[in-house]
With several copies, the nearest count.
Chain A
Amino acid sequence: MKKFLNDPANFVDEMLEGIYRAHPQVTYVNDDKRCLVVAKPKAGKVGIATGGGSGHLPLFLGYVGDNMLDGCAVGGVFQSPSADQMHEVTKYIDQGAGVLYIYGNYTGDIINFDMAAELADIDGITVKQVVGNDDIASSVVGEEHKRRGVAGIFFVYKAAGAAAANGLSLDEVTRLADKARANVRTIGVALSSCVVPEIGHATFSVGEDEMEIGMGIHGEPGISRKKLAPADAVVDEMMERVFAELPAGAGDEFAVLVNGLGGTPKEELYILFRRVSQLFEAKGSKVKYVWIGEFATAMEMAGASISVLKLDAELDPLIAVSVNTPFFAHYKA
């Protein structure tokens, strides 16, 4: 294991200490660094909370900030935070307008967020939930509820954050977040494993000349492991699956996220995007918004994912809203 760390047991908390020292826009509640919240919540606004395991920066906590999220319960590496922590975050960010939970479809997270919602209910806080399930490699059409949530949750955060910033009600924010969720699809490809600090070695392996299409961000198995192909061929195979579920016709508009899983240089992400853009162009569709970089990682895993959001008249202006968080700034041109 070649990592910059002290005691692996303190990996997450020392990382969080670094984050609080760097970014005074965020702070924590209940004397627990893992209960991260905005320093200045906006009065009357619907609160949006997320949460999940560490090791995915900037996911999840990196999106807490202006016009995005209000709080995040932070788990250990690849582990859910506790219901208790989610509950503490919920109490702080509730401004009387209720709280929306947006998180990924993993058993541990669901179990804990469900428990937290029960606890919040006892406090009289209305909680709604939208569970990201954008990874098309993780289950077939018709069984979408079994799909994992991966990088596409970025678009759900962005839509929901903008809706809440616009002063919409919890029901409306939830509806729009759920619409974004239903309109986004992601497919990933991994070239290497990653090392969980407390484990200390790679938890799985990918052969020297292999890639695995559809591998999850904790190393969950994908749909095919084969010889690494040229970038264009890899994108073609991935996008064929995306287009099968989100048809792209002449005049259709999309937002695209090309996400590095941690160990892949940005240069390569742009080579992937080049091909993605060509494919949309060939269909007469427009990529109206694009982000390329690291948005949801798996430590030092080499690989990438492509998330596609189909835009409509409601989602488009929400995606366009400027955002400013410690890990992500989007300036509307």
Chain B
Amino acid sequence: MDAIRADELIGLFQSWRDMFAAERDFLIALDGKVGDSDLGITMSKSFAAAYDTVAAEGAAAGLTKLLRSAGAIMAKTAPSTMGTLTATGFLRGAKALEGKDAIGTAEAAAFWRAYATGIAERGKAKLGDKTILDVLDPVAGVLEAQAASGAALAPALKAAADEAEAALERTKAMKAQHGKAAVFQEQTVGLQDAGATVGVFLVKAMSGYVAG
């Protein structure tokens, strides 16, 4: 697949839904270490709702409308920190792609940049604060570089997914500054951040979907 159009976007949401359903218990356990164990529940719920919504609206609604609808329903369905932040990400991503009907490498870069910036604004987190931002910011950076070098979508996303995994690994060394994990301070060092893990899952599933 060389670009994601409205039709494929619906399929991508199905992949995300299935992946978060499968990772539900893993994310519950991960969030349970220095959080409140809800992450698996909120992510599986909100992506299930998002898929249902985009599937019901259908490809005719168009790429950006589907992204907006997904963001809106996610904000209603799972208003946890990660739920609201991912929802904000989709809404901002939709805005960034206004007028586009396909996501190629450049659009993917724009999408994830807007996504990361939206999260940073809403959550008031900085890089290095051990959040999802520490994965999505480098992901956007890699995609921007890939776009600049004219890479096709599949290899660009593969590079982004690899960078996401590396970035997640780097969150282990950080100390949580936000949310429920923040009170654990030093104890969070050595652990991968739960929200950053969600970031990796999002990018990897997208990469896998595009690779077919």
A and B touch in their complex, CB below 8 angstroms: yes
Q: Which residues of A contact B (CB under 8 A)?
A: 75, 78-85, 106-108, 111-112, 114-115, 138-139, 146, 148, 196, 198-199, 203-204, 216, 218-221
Tell me how far the C-beta of B120 lies from the nearest C-beta in chain A, rounded to whole angstroms: 12
Q: Is B18 an interface residue (CB 8 A)?
A: no
Contact A108 to B41, CB < 8 A, known contacts A83-B75, A203-B36, A219-B36? no
Q: Which residues of B168-194 are within 8 A (CB) of A?
A: 178-180, 182-184, 187
Identify B183's interface contact among A75, A114, A138, CB under 8 A: A138
Q: Which B residues, 97 to 153, have Cβ-Cβ distances below 8 Å to chain A?
A: 122-123
Is A220's CB under 8 angstroms from B183's CB? yes
Instruction: Please tell me if the beta carbons of A221 and B80 are within 8 angstroms of each other in the complex.
Output: no
B23 → A minimal CB distance (Å): 15
- Nearest Cβ on chain A to B159's Cβ, whole angstroms: 31
Given contacts A111-B84, A111-B85, A114-B122, contact A84 B75 (CB under 8 A): yes
Main secondary structure of the interface of A (DSSP, over half): loop
User: Any chain A CB within 8 A of the CB of B32?
Assistant: yes
Residues of B within 8 A of A107 (CB): 81, 123, 178-180
Of A80, A218, A220, the contact of B79 (CB 8 Å cutoff): A80
- Do residues B79 and A221 form an inter-chain contact, with CB atoms below 8 A? no
B38 surroundings in chain A (CB, below 8 A): 78-79, 196
A220 touching B81, Cβ below 8 Å: no
Chain B contacts for A80, CB-based, 8 A? 79-81, 84
Q: A108 vs B76: C-alpha distance in the bound complex, in angstroms?
A: 13
Q: How far is the CB of A187 from chain B (nearest CB, A)?
A: 15
Which residue of chain B has its CB nearest to the CB of A204? B32
- The answer on a CB contact under 8 Å between A199 and B41 is yes
Name the A residues within 8 Å of B28 (CB-CB): 199
Of residues A82, A84, A85, A148, which shows the largest number of chain B Cβ atoms within 10 Å of its Cβ?
A82
Question: Does B53 lie at the interface of the complex (its beta carbon under 8 Å from any beta carbon of A)?
Answer: no
Residues B36 and A218 in contact, CB atoms below 8 Å apart: yes
- B79, B83, B85, B122 interface centre (most CB from chain A within 10 Å): B79
Q: Decide yes or no: A83 and B79 within 8 Å by CB, A78-B36, A198-B41, A199-B28 being known contacts.
A: yes
Q: Could you say which residues of chain A place their CB within 8 Å of the CB of B76?
A: 82, 84-85
In this assembly, does B64 line the interface, its C-beta being within 8 Å of a C-beta of chain A? no
B79 and A81 contact, CB distance less than 8 A: yes
- The yes or no answer to B37 lying at the interface (CB within 8 A) is yes
- Interface code B7-36, partner A: CB below 8 Å = 1, 0 otherwise? 000000000000000000000100010001
Chain B residue at smallest Cβ distance from A148: B183
Q: Is B42 close to A, CB under 8 A?
A: yes
CA distance A108 to B182 in the complex (A): 13
Q: Which residues of A contact B123 (CB under 8 A)?
A: 107, 111
Q: Cβ of A83 and Cβ of B84 under 8 Å apart?
A: yes
Residues of B within 8 A of A75 (CB): 79
Q: Which residue of A lies closest to B131 (CB)?
A: A107
Q: Looking at the complex, which one of B75, B80, B183 makes contact with A139 (CB distance below 8 Å)?
A: B183
In the bound assembly, the distance between CA atoms of A124 and B206 in angstroms comes to 40
On whether A112 and B79 interact (CB within 8 A), knowing A138-B183, A199-B41, A220-B183, the answer reads yes
